[in-house]
Structure 1
Amino acid sequence: MRIFPPAPRRDRRDAPRDAEYGFFSLDEGAHFRAQVREAFAEHGLEVTVHAGAVSDSAGRHFGMANLAAICHNDVRGRKRWPKVIREHVGRLLRVVDGPSPLETFAPEQLLARLRPWMVTQDVIEPDAAQYTHARVVAPGLCEVLALDMGESVMTLPDKYLALLGGVVDLRIRALDNLGALPVESHTVLQSAGGTRFDVVMGDSFFTASRVLAMNELARDLTGRDLGPNGALVAMPHRHQLAFRPIGTVQDTNLVQALNAMTVFAAANFEDAAGQVSPHVYWWRRGALTQLVLHDGGQPGCTENGEFEVLLMWLEGSNAGEHS
């Protein structure tokens, strides 16, 4: 996993662009879709290729946005795409054609794989009536209970959750499971001006979701609980989480850290597979407040009186400390 995404090998930016995936040229888009069709054919499945999905004769639809982003971001260029696409399609078909974990796993095995998964709301919006347990955690983001199947994630509609227990108890179990996950990679980024923040990365689909157990993660990595002022956090995509604890006194460079994390979040969100958010948030006592908004142009700070008061208080505390 890379902290900042490298520049992928691509056709020139002035080449005509693909209408569905603007990061592809027309030629790259055509090559990508041809490889997707061929990968399904290798599994004996003829599919109709649409702009952003494929469909088979059984009426099943498979989205391609994440796979397109993975190919686009592969720094080895499109010579590597056939292998990446074949592996992806193979995993996908193993999941959809195989037996359901709900039929083959014992209840305790299912509970051991239970996690809270933070996703964009459009992931469940088509079937929102089946996910009444979903919890909004920030504008456009929600938490849904799901099973970690290693190569994939299985979201659990209400009717399947009812087979395992009550939602409150299941969420407690899911959060405990999330907090017990190993940290795959941890890096501290530091700028020349002394701004620092932590970055956690991993192949797990639940890496960004660890913001739902932020205090436990911070304690594991730093040896200290987050203070009453919480932390700045960013979750560009599902495999990455950045955070910066906010102190109570002498917390210098907080604005600089916010600016640095804003650049980080935007750069790692763009064209990523499994996008979560390009924004920076204020985590405090389990709640997320959006601090930075990207609205098609330059990022800007949202108006938040509490955070502004906190900044003034920290500046006043620092001034008093050094007077």
Structure 2
Amino acid sequence: MRLFRRGPKRDPRDLARDGEFTFFSEREGGVFRSQVRQAFAEQGLEVTAYAGVVTDSAGRQFGLGNLAAVCHRDRRGERSWPALIRDHVGKVLRTMDGPQPLDVLSEDEIRACLFPRVVAQETLPASDSFRYGRAPAPGLREVLALDLPEAVQMLSEDSLAELGDVAELRIRAMNNLRALPVEGHETVRRGDGSAFEVLLGDSFFTASRVLVLDELVQRLMGTELTPDGALVALPFRHQLAFHRIHDAQVIPALQAMAQFAAAGHEDAAGAISPRVFWWRRGVMTPLSRLDGEGLRVVADADFQAVLERLVQDDA
């Protein structure tokens, strides 16, 4: 997975946009939904397509958001969509119609594929199914999930009740997260002298490694975080960006990472957050936000004090 690459050929931005997925033009949105219907038909299911979901005759709903983002971002353009959509639909139906993992896997097998996953709170159902999850930062939720061959299954509170104590399960999940290999690591350098690191990977838990950031930085950089911590961004599930705070270069790095996070989050599959956070001893404080006036960097009194001290130290 490369961080920067030539984008696919897309319809011009000045064409009318799709009402649900604004990264598509109206034409692209129509082509996408038509191909989704065709893929389900090939599996023997007739579905009705709505703006963001399709439904079958049994009333089951299949969300289209992540699949639309995957198609949009594929560098091969529209010619890749039919295969991507058929593959996705096949996996979804096999997962839904096949044996449920908790019914067929042994306890050891379940624990071996158990991971913590950081997701956007807004992507979870409104029910209390995931109320057990920690909130590592405003708008984010940490839940437990199974990393299966063809899917990642997030576990509800009811599911966990059959597996054991949540705290003990999280310990095992965190150990599994620590053991993941580093799939890709790039350093982004800007002309203003700022730099930050980006961890990339096909794993759905790449961004979730923010939960073990201090250990990850030591592993990648060969040095520990300072007491001031780090800037972090997790725009979507396959990327984690960070900057180790140790001098006044944190200021341009914050600006650069704010742009990086907002752009990466905009049309990504598995989008998590467009914000940059200040990570310090496991606590994440938002430092940027998108509002009606655009992208803004915000700093509380504690972070402002850190900036002033670092600037003075570099003077």
TM tier relative to shorter chain = over 0.9
Q: 2:288 aligns with which of 292, 295, 305?
A: 292
1:267 aligns with 2:266: no
What displacement does 1:146 show?
1.1
SS, match of residue 137 in structure 1: coil
**Equivalent in the alignment of 2:57:** 57
Q: Equivalent residue for 1:156?
A: 155
d(CA) in 1 for partners of 2:53, 2:290: 27
Q: Per-residue displacement from partner, 1:237-285 (whole Å, max 9, x unpaired)?
A: 10000001112xxx13110111111111122111111111111100111
In structure 1, the gaps of 5 or more residues are none
Query: Does the Cα contact within 8 Å between 1:5 and 1:268 map onto a contact in 2?
Result: no
Q: Which runs of structure 2 are paired with 1:122-201 in the superposition (5 Å)?
A: 122-127=122-127, 129-201=128-200
CA offsets 1:69-93 (integer angstroms, 9 cap, x no match): 1111122221221111111111111
TM-score, normalised relative to structure 2: 0.96
Residue 309 (structure 1) aligns with: 305
Query: Matched residues in 2 for 1:231 and 1:70: separation?
Result: 30
Q: Judging changes above 3 Å, is the alpha-carbon distance between structure 1 residues 100 and 206 closer, same or farther for their aligned structure 2 residues?
A: same
Alpha-carbon deviations, 1:118-160, whole Å to 9, x = none?
0011222323x12221111212111111111143211111122
CA distance in 1, matches of 2:2, 2:263: 12
Quick one: distance in 2 between partners of 1:277 and 1:198?
A: 17
CA 1:6–1:66 in structure 2 vs 1: closer, same or farther (change >3 Å)?
farther
d(CA) in 1 for partners of 2:32, 2:90: 16
The answer to whether the Cα contact below 8 Å between 2:255 and 2:297 also exists between their aligned partners in 1 is: no
Deviation (angstroms), 1:6? 4.2
Is contact 1:4-1:267 (8 Å) kept? no
Q: Structure 1 residue 303: deviation in Å?
A: 3.6
Q: Which runs of 5+ in 2 are unaligned?
A: none
Question: 1:217 offset after TM fit, Å?
Answer: 1.0
Q: How does 1:1-323 map to 2 (within 5 A)?
A: 1-4=1-4, 6-127=6-127, 129-247=128-246, 251-319=247-315
What letter corresponds to residue 154 of structure 1 in structure 2?
A: Q
Pick which of 63-72 and 161-170 moved more: 161-170
1:2 Cα deviation from its structure 2 partner: 3.0
2:113, 2:146 within 8 Å by CA — same for their partners in 1?
yes
Tell me by how many angstroms 1:113 deviates.
1.0
Q: Is the 8 A contact 1:207 1:240 kept in 2?
A: yes
Deviation at 1:22, TM superposition (A): 1.2
- Does 111-120 or 15-24 show the bigger shift? 15-24
Change in Cα spacing, 1:226 to 1:291, as seen in structure 2 (3 Å) is same
Q: What is the CA RMSD across the aligned residues, in angstroms?
A: 1.4
Supply the distance in 2 between the matched residues of 1:149 and 1:297 (Cα, whole angstroms).
42
Structure 2 SS opposite 1:126: coil
For residues 274-320 of structure 1, what are the alpha-carbon distances to aligned partners after superposition, in whole Å with 9 as ceiling and x for unaligned?
1111111001111110001111433112240000000111122223x
Q: Cα offset for 1:94?
A: 1.6
3-state SS, counterpart of residue 186 of structure 1: strand
Are the counterparts in 1 of residues 178 and 212 from structure 2 also a CA contact under 8 Å?
A: yes
Q: Alignment partner of 1:71: what SS?
A: helix
Q: How far apart are residue 5 of structure 1 and its match?
A: 6.3
Deviation for aligned residue 1:198:
0.8
- Per-residue CA deviations over 1:202-235 (Å, capped at 9, x if unaligned) read 1111111110111111111112222211100001
- Sort the Cα spacing of 1:53 and 1:5 in 2 relative to 1 into closer, same or farther, 3 A: farther
Q: Which moved more, 1:35-44 or 1:152-161?
A: 152-161
| Count of residues in Structure 1 that have an aligned counterpart in Structure 2 | 315
The alignment's TM-score, normalised by the length of structure 1, stands at 0.94
CA distance in 1, matches of 2:89, 2:292: 33
Distance 1:286 1:194 in 2: 27
**Alpha-carbon distance in 2 for matches of 1:130, 1:162:** 11
